[in-house]
Structures are given as structure tokens and as C-alpha cells.
């Protein structure tokens, strides 16, 4: 049997519209070409499928029997096409990921390493900004997915937000220096008396810590202001001062010591954000899964300072 998908598609359209002229228009074919496809299908099957008349067309008994089979074959072919496209997407594809600076030096570095090892042909683009800027980029179609630390309720309609982690902010100091406290935690007032290195004002984290100190009526002893996260960590390792950072950055950094904040609301929820009106590609779907799996692994390593958002 030599019938092909184009013949079946033409047959199904003629059956749906009951008219060769309208079916040809829908399929963007010349009517003679459509008629030849139907005639060829009838010859291949050895049966008349369509009654042709001036006022329109109708299916024969053989045509009625073929119609559900033809529809199923076309649907199966479309499923195969989509699956092959998805596989091709992971062989070629592109993922535009956004993340905050503090996540780029910890969670995202692990995510990108894992993803690239599994799918080296997928093109990766990274945008490193604060959460608000990342959400703006998502809305503008400049990103496929972003890892953010801001859950703006005004964004709920535009984005799908999936919480990943709830993470404490901790006070870090040089591992080579004496501990900042003999206890398991330190009060915010105590942190304010220590020489402190603070992040650039572009960080969401900086805004949160400034607000916490203001609310407590504390004027921190700042020895260096305006650094990026990598620089902050290096300065702390060298004993220049302490800093308040997400617990995540302590992982795999033996030169730093961390202590929890006592009675503090300084914590953040890390969420995965994507546009709610755009279906993710296969590559983006795999990236989302990689992010979620890596976040769970980070939570299991961090102990009490971090937990998955669902627990």
C-alpha cells in the first residue's frame, strides 16, 4: 500500500468540509492536485472513498470506514514529529537562563555544569541580574526561565513561580580567625558591632539586610561597601571583616565559617520563574528539572540553614 500522509490529510479535510474546493483552499493546494491525491489514494486502496457531486461530496461506506483510521494515523504521526523535535531540541536547542548574582556563584554553577555534561550541544545563555530585572526580561521574552529570590504577587498572572528553597542568611567570617561567637547563633545587634563588608546596593540581599538593621535601630560598623559577591567572600576569607550572605555560598568554601542569625527574619525563598503563557521547549523543560534536582541536593547538604520549599 503506497498511501502517504499527504493523501490522508487531503482525505480527512475533504471529509470534514464536504467540498473539494474549500478543502483545497484550507490545504493551500490547487484543486486538481487535491483531486489527484484522493484518486491516487482510492487506487492504492482499491476502493472508492468519496462520492463526487456538483453540490459537494460525501463519503462512501469505504470512506466512512477509513476516516477514523486516517485521523488516528495523522495524530500518531504528529506525536512522532513532536517527540523527534524534542529530541532534536536537546541535540541543538537553546536555553536562556537568568539568575541573581548570589545564585550564580553557587546553585547555578552546579546546574550549568550538570546540564552541559548531559547535553553539550545545547546553547546556553546566562543573564545575571537582580530578581526584578530578571522578571522584566522574562516578560519581554528575553529569557526562557529564571531563578529569582523575589515573589512579587503582582507577577503571579504573568509568570509561573515554583518555590525551590527556603534559605537562611548567615554571618560569615574567616575560618582562620577566631569565631565571632561561642554560641550556635548571633544576634543582629552583635553583628552590627563587628567590622562588616556589605554588598553593592544593586543586590536584593543588600536591601533586605539594610532594612533589618533599620528596623532594629542598629547602625552597623561598615568597613567596606559596594563589593560584588565574589569579592565579599574573598575579603572575608582574608579577615577584613564579616558579611551577611545566603547560607548556600558556604558550600565547598573551607576558608569561611558561618553562624546562624538569632531571632532574625532574614531568610529568602528561591523560586523558579517562567512565562505562564509560553510552553517550554524540551531543552527548557530539562533545564527546569536539572535546577529542581540540584536545589534538592543543595538543601540536603546545607543542613538546618536551608530546606526545600515544599517541606
Contacts of 2 (CB under 8 A, 6+ apart): 44
Alpha helices in the chain (DSSP H): 5-17, 20-27, 31-45, 61-91, 101-104, 107-118, 131-139, 188-192, 204-215, 229-237, 282-302
Nearest CA among 273, 298, 259 for reference residue 149: 273
Per-residue pLDDT tens over the stretch 172-217:
999 999 999 999 899 999 999 999 999 988 888 888 899 999 999 9
- 11 φ, ψ to 5°? -60, -45
Q: Cα separation of 110 and 290, whole Å?
A: 10
- Domain 5-90 in CATH 1.10.10.10? The answer is yes
CATH topology of domain 94-311: D-Maltodextrin-Binding Protein; domain 2 (3.40.190)
Confidence of residue 93 (pLDDT cuts 50, 70, 90): confident
Q: Cα separation of 71 and 211, whole Å?
A: 62
Estimate to the nearest angstrom the gap between the alpha carbon of 161 and the chain centroid.
Answer: 10
Q: Cα separation of 259 and 244, whole Å?
A: 10
CA angle 289, 291, 296 (to 5 degrees): 95
| pLDDT at residue number 81 | 74
Confidence of residue 274 (pLDDT cuts 50, 70, 90): very high
| pLDDT at residue number 87 | 64
- Delimit the domains of the chain by residue range: 5-90, 94-311
Per-residue pLDDT tens over the stretch 28-58:
889 999 999 999 999 989 999 999 988 789 9
3-state secondary structure of 222: strand
Per-residue pLDDT tens over the stretch 174-183:
999 999 999 9
Q: Which of 49-58, 275-284, 289-298, 300-309 has the lowest mean pLDDT?
A: 300-309
Amino acid at each position: 500500500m503506497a498511501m502517504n500522509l499527504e493523501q490522508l490529510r487531503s482525505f480527512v479535510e475533504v471529509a470534514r468540509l464536504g467540498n473539494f474546493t474549500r478543502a483545497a483552499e484550507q490545504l493551500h493546494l490547487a484543486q486538481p492536485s487535491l483531486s489527484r491525491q484522493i484518486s491516487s489514494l482510492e487506487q492504492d486502496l482499491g476502493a472508492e472513498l468519496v462520492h463526487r457531486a456538483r453540490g459537494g461530496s460525501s463519503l462512501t461506506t469505504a470512506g466512512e470506514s477509513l476516516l477514523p483510521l486516517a485521523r488516528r494515523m495523522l495524530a500518531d504521526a504528529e506525536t512522532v514529529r513532536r517527540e523527534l523535535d524534542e529530541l532534536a531540541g536537546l541535540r541543538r536547542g537553546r536555553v536562556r537562563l537568568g539568575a541573581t548574582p548570589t545564585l550564580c556563584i553557587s546553585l547555578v554553577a552546579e546546574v550549568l555544569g550538570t546540564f552541559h555534561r548531559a547535553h553539550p550541544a545545547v546553547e546556553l545563555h546566562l543573564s545575571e541580574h537582580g530578581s526584578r530585572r530578571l522578571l522584566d526580561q522574562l516578560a519581554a521574552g528575553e529569557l526562557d526561565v529564571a531563578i529569582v529570590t523575589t515573589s512579587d504577587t503582582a507577577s503571579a498572572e504573568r509568570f509561573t513561580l515554583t518555590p525551590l528553597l527556603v534559605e537562611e542568611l548567615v554571618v560569615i567570617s574567616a575560618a582562620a580567625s577566631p569565631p565571632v561567637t561561642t554560641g550556635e547563633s548571633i544576634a543582629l545587634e552583635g553583628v552590627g558591632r563587628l567590622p562588616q563588608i556589605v554588598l553593592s546596593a544593586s543586590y536584593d540581599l543588600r536591601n533586605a539586610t539594610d532594612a533589618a538593621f533599620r528596623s532594629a535601630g542598629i547602625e552597623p560598623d561598615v568597613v567596606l561597601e559596594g563589593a560584588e559577591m565574589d569579592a565579599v567572600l574573598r575579603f572575608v576569607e582574608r579577615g577584613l571583616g564579616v558579611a551577611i550572605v545566603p547560607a548556600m555560598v558556604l558550600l565547598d568554601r573551607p576558608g569561611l565559617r558561618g553562624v546562624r542569625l538569632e531571632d532574625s527574619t532574614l531568610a529568602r525563598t528561591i523560586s523558579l520563574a517562567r512565562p505562564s503563557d509560553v510552553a517550554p521547549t524540551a531543552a527548557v523543560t530539562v533545564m527546569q528539572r536539572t535546577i529542581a534536582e540540584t536545589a534538592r541536593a543543595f538543601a540536603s547538604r546545607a543542613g538546618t540553614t536551608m530546606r526545600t520549599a515544599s517541606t
